[in-house]
Chain A
Amino acid sequence: MKVLVPVKRVMDYNVKARVKSDGSGIDLANVKMSMNPFDEIAVEEAVRLKEAGVATEVIAVSCGLANCQETLRTAMAIGADRAILVDTDVELQPLAVAKLLKAVADKEAPQLIILGKQAIDDDANQTGQMLAALLGWPQATFASKVVVADGKATVTREVDGGLETLALSLPAVVTTDLRLNEPRYATLPNIMKAKKKPMDTLKPADLGVDVAPRLATVKVSEPPKRSAGIKVADVAQLIAKLKNEAKVI
Chain B
Amino acid sequence: MAILVIAEHDNASLKAATLNTVAAAAKIGGEVHILVAGSGCQVVADQAAKIAGVAKVKLADAAHYGELTAENHAALIVANAAGYSHILAPATSHGKNTLPRVAALLDVAQISEIIAVVDADTFVRPIYAGNALATVKSSDATKVITVRSTGFDAAPADGGNAAIEAVAAAADLGQSKLVGREIAKSERPELTAAKIIVSGGRGMGSGENYHATLEPLADKLGAALGASRAAVDAGFVPNDYQVGQTGKIVAPQLYIAIGISGAIQHLAGMKDSKVIVAINKDPDAPIFQVADYGLVADLFTAVPELVAAL
Contacts and interface: CB of A to CB of B under 8 A. Distances in A.
B112 A229 contact: no
A148 B134 CA distance: 39
A85 to B, nearest CB: 23
Interface residues of A, number: 79
B196 A163 contact: no
Interface in A189-238: 214-223, 226, 228-232, 234-236, 238
A169 B69 CA distance: 13
A83 interface: no
Contacts of A163: 180-183, 238-239
Contacts of B92: 160
Interface of A: 11, 13, 16-17, 19, 26, 93-95, 98, 117-118, 120-134, 137-142, 144, 154, 156-169, 172, 177-179, 214-223, 226, 228-232, 234-236, 238-239, 241-242, 246, 248-249
Interface in B59-116: 69-71, 74, 92-94, 96-105, 107-113
Contact of A231 (B137, B233, B239, B296): B296
Contact of B176 (A122, A123, A166, A178): A166
B232 interface: yes
Interface in B194-229: 196, 221, 229
Give the size range of B's interface with the partner.
Answer: 35 or more
Contact of A223 (B118, B130, B233): B130
Majority DSSP secondary structure for residues of A touching B: mixed
A59 to B, nearest CB: 22
B99 to A, nearest CB: 8
A141 B135 contact: no
A215 B137 contact: yes
B154 interface: no
Q: What are the 5 A-B residue pairs with the smallest beta carbon separation, nearest first?
A: A138-B175, A165-B180, A129-B100, A229-B292, A17-B128
